[in-house]
Amino acid sequence: MLPLPKKYFLTAASSEGNTSLTAFDGALLNARVGNTNLLRVSSILPPGCEFDPELKIPSGSLLPIAYGSITSSEPGVIISAAVAVGIKKDSFGVIMEFSGKCSKKEAEEKVVKMVEEAFAMRNLELEEVKVAACEHTVENIGCAFAAVPLWY
């Protein structure tokens, strides 16, 4: 059984590459998680998890992470990715992810609405929302990536 994560941060970045995979890899590197092994998780922030924007994850780590990403090879298209964390003190939180062919602002608005809906569905009071997002205009093959890495 994996231990309960104790820390998290939000990150968003984009990149170009010669292939979809290298564009994704470049976005991971720019988002400070490129030298880890991602373990994609669903959308619950553990109770008491502490926000640490300077958190450094050791290379090679198995990293629990909630993320949204989009890759496109359509030059000139704007792609965006966003994550939002909804927080209620003394409770668990909710993470929402979004990616699409839209502006950064639109992606941010969508994830915030998703967090608000998730809290309403759980009958929880939303006290704080943290958001990270990025926008990228595709040149050749581009990727936009936004994530909430969880750590111990």
4 three-class SS: coil
Interatomic CA distance for residues 144 and 115, integer angstroms: 20
Which candidate in 35, 37, 73, 140 is catalytic? Answer: 37
The number of residues in the chain equals 152
**Counting beta carbons within 10 angstroms of the beta carbon of residue 79, is it exposed (0 to 12), middle (13 to 18) or buried (19 or more)?**
buried
Would you call 18 a catalytic residue per the annotation? no
Which candidate in 14, 15, 80, 97 is catalytic? Answer: 97
Would you call 99 a catalytic residue per the annotation? no
- Contact indicator for 69, 151 with CB cutoff of 8 Å: no
**Token code pair at residue 79:** 């792609």
Interatomic CA distance for residues 129 and 40, integer angstroms: 21
24 DSSP assignment: H
Which candidate in 15, 43, 69, 72 is catalytic? Answer: 43
Would you call 80 a catalytic residue per the annotation? no
**Token code pair at residue 83:** 């994550």
Which candidate in 42, 54, 59, 139 is catalytic? Answer: 42
Q: Which residues are catalytic?
A: 37, 42-43, 97
